[in-house]
Structure 1
Amino acid sequence: MRFGVLLDHQYELGDDINRRTGELVEFTQHVRDLGYDSVFGIHHYLSSLSTPQPLPLLSRLIDHSGDMRIGTGILILPMGHPVHWAEEIATIDQMSGGRFVLGIGSGYREDEFNAFGIERRTRVSRMNESLEVMRKLWTGEKVSHRGQHFALDGVRCSVLPMQRPGPPVWVGANGPIGIKRIARQGHPWIAPSNVRRNWAVGNLADYRAERTAAGFGEDGAVFPIHRDLCVAGSFEEAYEIAGTAVRASYGEYVQYGMDYFDTQWEGIKHKALFFGSPDDIAAKVEDFARAGYNHFVFRTQWLGLPIERSIETVERFARDVMPRFRP
């Protein structure tokens, strides 16, 4: 069982990003020393919140992350050209000594697609073709490609990733069609943080069945999931600590058409959040692990929550919960 942390590097507009980055360096060092396995960054453009870009941020954290995997959770692949992504990602994989995990997604925010001049309806085909082109470039051979979105004529990538044939790729999706497509491709599916328990468990079962039918075995397979985590004396105490902040963070999504974060908040609050005592959290981890999840990536930071509260949660999980799942 592996445990990681999703850095929530989203701040009020005008916040001091240099200071916030320093906080994240210290937080990453702390997570490293507590025995976590991975640390991930998020990705958006033109956000309502000040959101530092993940690849420069993760590069800053490389020397502070020990042997942890570092990665994107997720990178919106359609927003860039595959040549750009191939060389950027190969560079950070080299810099990290081959510890990079490329988490990708197709995106959903209309303002991002409009600003980049990309038709939103093409986002999945662009993501898939981008990944195809990147894999070709990472062979180190000259690449000629004629596709729906991209054309290359005998070009060669100038930087190759340390991991061969490339970094592991995890793919995010929030609907059954996308989840099954990921299964047929053999990629790990990143289950989202905000979904209720039965949805997460049911879709993982469907994903695994589809993946097996496509001929992929489960030896060494990764089944990751994002969850919001706050460990305290009880659910009520955890929600008293972080409830206002977590709801404020999810509230930012309402302006992007996700009004269910407002209308269905009570259900999300009780059925999606990993909030509670160490025993409560251990029971939730055990439940999801029985369903097949084996890499939990926890978000412990939300809008307006002091970093000290996030540190308390990662410490308490490492002390009171993690040992129950480690030899």
Structure 2
Amino acid sequence: MDIGYLLPTRDQSAAGEHDLGRLVARARRAEELGLDSVWAGDSPVTRPRADPLLLLAAVAAATERVAVGTAVLLPALRHPILLAHQLATLDRLSDGRLIAGMGAGYPMPATEAQFAAVGVGFARRGARLEEAIEVMRRLWSGEAVSHRGEHFAFEDVRIAPPPSRPGGPPVWLAGGGPALARVARLADGWLPYPPEAAAYAAERTAIEADAVRPVTPALYATLCVDDDPEKAHHRMRSSIERYYNAPLEFVASVQAMFAGTPRDAARWLDGYVAAGARHLVIRLATDDHDTGLEEFADRVLPLVHKENDR
């Protein structure tokens, strides 16, 4: 099992801080602390933050071992030729450590406004995502590609350099419910955030029944830890409501979140491990991300590994 760390790009931007070097330093520290992957989110308009691909290029240059991933990228906002080129270059820079986490975009007014701002129809974002994945995988072959689809059309296009790995980086897809069929058809990995481990187990089973290729079951989870559970809950509310500009109760109803002691947090994560999760991507809800990363690595990470090794 692997455990990764989500760089706090949105938290830093929301606080009016724009020192990207601090994010790269946290990625290096995550590697030193024994984490397996470092991730960056994508939302140029709805929740503005540093561009994930440019940031992860710097992270790839500053690290040696950790996987670098997008959690998650929104391909429907971009043309697949340009995105395939960027991802192939990033895979080269990272020596094949890239995980291309992707999603269609959560249906809410702010997300619709983001698509409108860049001139992309929101209603067809799912179909646009699927076509983009097909196009990018063909372009990653290094061969000349011609394509005529519902959303994109071009003739005799070749990108260079090709990705470090034949076939390109693994594509992990977010989503549950109706999106599970897309995961089973197209994905190399699954990166959802269901609020209950039982729901995770049921959806993972559904994917495995229909998958056309091996799918790595992952989890995107938010933690806030403190020896005082009440303080942890208070910090979780403050962090999440600042991040999403929405009530904690609503966000927690759709996302995997836990606030409490380090030991209880490890037990909560272990519920998802028992449900089949094999790569945990952890977002920390905290006001001090440097201290939060150290505390997670020191007080939660060893317990999760201990629980998983039983």
Q: Within 5 A, what are the aligned runs for 1:124-139?
A: 124-139=126-141
* Shift in alpha-carbon separation, 1:211–1:186, aligned structure 2, 3 A: farther
Looking at structure 2, the residues matched to 141 and 94 of structure 1 have their Cα atoms a distance apart, in angstroms, of 17
Q: In the alignment, which residue of structure 1 is the partner of 2:300?
A: 317
Amino acid at match of 1:246: I
Q: In the alignment, which residue of structure 2 is the partner of 1:34?
A: 33
By how many angstroms is 1:118 displaced? 1.4
Q: Within 5 A, what are the aligned runs for 1:1-327?
A: 1-10=1-10, 11-12=12-13, 15-17=16-18, 19=19, 21-47=20-46, 49-108=47-106, 109-173=111-175, 175-192=176-193, 195-197=194-196, 200-214=197-211, 216=213, 221-250=215-244, 252=245, 254=246, 261=247, 264=250, 268=253, 272-301=256-285, 305-315=287-297, 316-325=299-308
With the length of structure 2 as denominator, give the TM-score of the two structures.
0.88
* Shift in alpha-carbon separation, 1:157–1:249, aligned structure 2, 3 A: same
By how many angstroms is 1:169 displaced? 0.5
* Shift in alpha-carbon separation, 1:189–1:137, aligned structure 2, 3 A: same
By how many angstroms is 1:117 displaced? 1.5
Amino acid at match of 2:158: R
* Shift in alpha-carbon separation, 1:289–1:43, aligned structure 2, 3 A: same
Q: Deviations over 1:94-142 (max 9, x none)?
A: 0011100000111241112112221111111111111111111111111
By how many angstroms is 1:285 displaced? 2.0
* Shift in alpha-carbon separation, 1:119–1:242, aligned structure 2, 3 A: closer
Amino acid at match of 1:29: R
Looking at structure 2, the residues matched to 314 and 13 of structure 1 have their Cα atoms a distance apart, in angstroms, of 22
Contact preservation (8 Å) 1:86, 1:137: yes
Looking at structure 2, the residues matched to 131 and 12 of structure 1 have their Cα atoms a distance apart, in angstroms, of 29
Partner of 1:98, secondary structure, is coil
Amino acid at match of 1:187: D
Looking at structure 2, the residues matched to 312 and 215 of structure 1 have their Cα atoms a distance apart, in angstroms, of 39
Looking at structure 2, the residues matched to 132 and 107 of structure 1 have their Cα atoms a distance apart, in angstroms, of 18
By how many angstroms is 1:12 displaced? 4.7
Partner of 1:121, secondary structure, is coil
* Shift in alpha-carbon separation, 1:272–1:46, aligned structure 2, 3 A: closer
Amino acid at match of 2:221: R
Looking at structure 1, the residues matched to 119 and 192 of structure 2 have their Cα atoms a distance apart, in angstroms, of 29
Contact preservation (8 Å) 1:103, 1:170: yes
How much identity, in percent, do the aligned residues show?
30
Partner of 1:120, secondary structure, is coil
* Shift in alpha-carbon separation, 1:263–1:283, aligned structure 2, 3 A: closer
Looking at structure 1, the residues matched to 289 and 204 of structure 2 have their Cα atoms a distance apart, in angstroms, of 36
Contact preservation (8 Å) 1:232, 1:313: no
Q: Deviations over 1:247-303 (max 9, x none)?
A: 3223x2x4xxxxxx45546x659x94232223212211221111111111000145x
Amino acid at match of 1:290: A
Contact preservation (8 Å) 1:71, 1:100: yes
Partner of 1:154, secondary structure, is strand
Amino acid at match of 1:160: P
Amino acid at match of 1:322: H
Structure 2 unaligned blocks of 5 or more? none
* Shift in alpha-carbon separation, 1:2–1:45, aligned structure 2, 3 A: same
Partner of 2:143, secondary structure, is coil
With the length of structure 1 as denominator, give the TM-score of the two structures.
0.84
Structure 1 unaligned blocks of 5 or more? 255-260
Contact preservation (8 Å) 1:113, 1:119: yes
* Shift in alpha-carbon separation, 1:35–1:154, aligned structure 2, 3 A: same
Q: Deviations over 1:48-77 (max 9, x none)?
A: x54111011111111333311001011100
In the alignment of these two chains, the number of paired residues is 304
By how many angstroms is 1:31 displaced? 1.0
